[in-house]
């Protein structure tokens, strides 16, 4: 009896995920004509704003390295932390919840003679602060911006595939939260340990500054992605869309939030009165700059990390 129960617990989520995927394909395939118009939008993109977005994406990695440097109470070298951020981004393309990057940084701190528990805490503090700053930012802007944003979302006629995509993403996140509930519980206790490990106000200040810099630089990449297709909208609305999509990306059970992030951004941009081809084009550019292109410097960084023996091998 226990064995069969365990089997059902493993099988049912997989069946549900398969059904959601098939429903998504059913509604998505008739909309493939949108991509021909999306390519037309991309053909007229501004290379100048694309380059600016690429530079800002690079700056966000530097900000992430600085945040991690502060999280470890300035242990090690800042240059090592920046290199590890790029290397971690490469590994994170194959693992969900940024587990690859966390593992790399944990091994780095262990090589610096930190105990296993302390190394894990130090490596997860930036994630903790990222989630906290995201929630705080949403709470600050929600009284005005998010009300307007969701009113637009309610008023506009959205294509069925977009709505189905978001609903499917939400269901997948709920199922994943159930499957990974033990890991989520462990992360919660690690969060408490991480907050307790902050030693002084200076460290707290640098952590907050670093987290905000990551948010601002990455939100700017989204804004530059809009300018790349010669679009425009309110900066506050873009910031609201970014922080909420970042939250979706962080909790999605896929590497880098693949699928859930794209669906959320497309629906959000459509709600901001971009056409569907424009919304898809902006999303493709943004994800190219922040997720796909970093594979190249990430792979190089991982090679350098191993060559210089910055972390101990597994």
HSE-CB of 54 using CA atoms within 13 angstroms:
13
Report the predicted TM-score, pTM, of the whole model to 2 decimal places. Answer: 0.75
The pair of three-digit structure tokens given for residue 92, joined into one six-digit string: 């994170």
Query: Residue 62 and residue 57: Cα distance in Å, rounded?
Result: 9
Local confidence pLDDT in tens for the 314 residues of the chain: 444 444 444 455 555 555 555 555 555 555 555 566 777 777 888 899 999 999 999 999 999 999 999 988 899 999 999 999 999 999 888 777 677 888 899 999 999 988 888 888 888 888 877 777 776 776 666 555 555 555 555 444 445 545 555 565 556 556 656 665 666 566 656 555 556 667 678 888 898 899 889 999 999 999 999 999 998 888 888 888 888 788 777 777 677 778 778 888 888 888 888 888 898 899 999 999 999 999 999 999 999 999 999 987 65
Rg (CA), the chain: 20
Contacts of 102 (CB under 8 A, 6+ apart): 88, 120, 123, 124, 127
């Amino acid at each position: 009896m226990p064995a069969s129960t365990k089997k059902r617990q493993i099988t049912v989520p997989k069946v549900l995920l398969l059904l959601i995927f098939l429903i998504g394909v059913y509604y998505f395939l008739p909309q493939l004509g949108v991509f021909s118009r999306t390519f037309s939008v991309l053909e007229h993109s501004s290379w100048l704003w694309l380059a600016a977005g690429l530079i800002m994406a690079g700056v966000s990695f530097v900000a992430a390295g600085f945040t991690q440097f502060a999280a470890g109470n300035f242990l090690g070298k800042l240059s090592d932390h920046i290199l590890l951020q790029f290397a971690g981004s490469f590994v994170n393309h194959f693992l969900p919840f940024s587990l690859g990057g966390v593992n790399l940084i944990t091994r780095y701190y262990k090589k610096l003679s930190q105990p296993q528990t302390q190394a894990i805490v130090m490596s997860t503090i930036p994630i903790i602060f990222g989630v906290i700053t995201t929630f705080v930012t949403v709470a600050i802007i929600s009284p005005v911006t998010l009300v307007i944003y969701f009113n637009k979302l309610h008023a506009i006629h959205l294509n069925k595939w977009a709505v189905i995509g978001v609903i499917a993403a939400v269901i997948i996140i709920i199922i994943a939260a159930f499957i990974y509930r033990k890991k989520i519980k462990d992360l919660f206790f690690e969060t408490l340990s991480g907050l307790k490990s902050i030693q002084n106000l200076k460290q707290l200040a640098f952590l907050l500054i670093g987290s905000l810099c990551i948010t601002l630089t990455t939100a700017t990449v989204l804004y530059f992605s809009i300018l790349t297709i010669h679009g425009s909208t309110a900066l506050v609305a873009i910031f609201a869309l970014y922080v909420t999509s970042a939250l979706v990306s962080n909790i999605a059970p896929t590497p880098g939030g693949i699928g859930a992030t794209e669906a959320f951004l497309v629906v959000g941009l459509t709600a901001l009165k971009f056409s569907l081809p424009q919304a898809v084009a902006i999303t493709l550019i943004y994800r190219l700059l922040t997720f796909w292109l970093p594979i190249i410097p990430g792979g190089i960084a991982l090679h350098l990390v191993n060559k210089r023996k910055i972390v101990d091998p597994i």
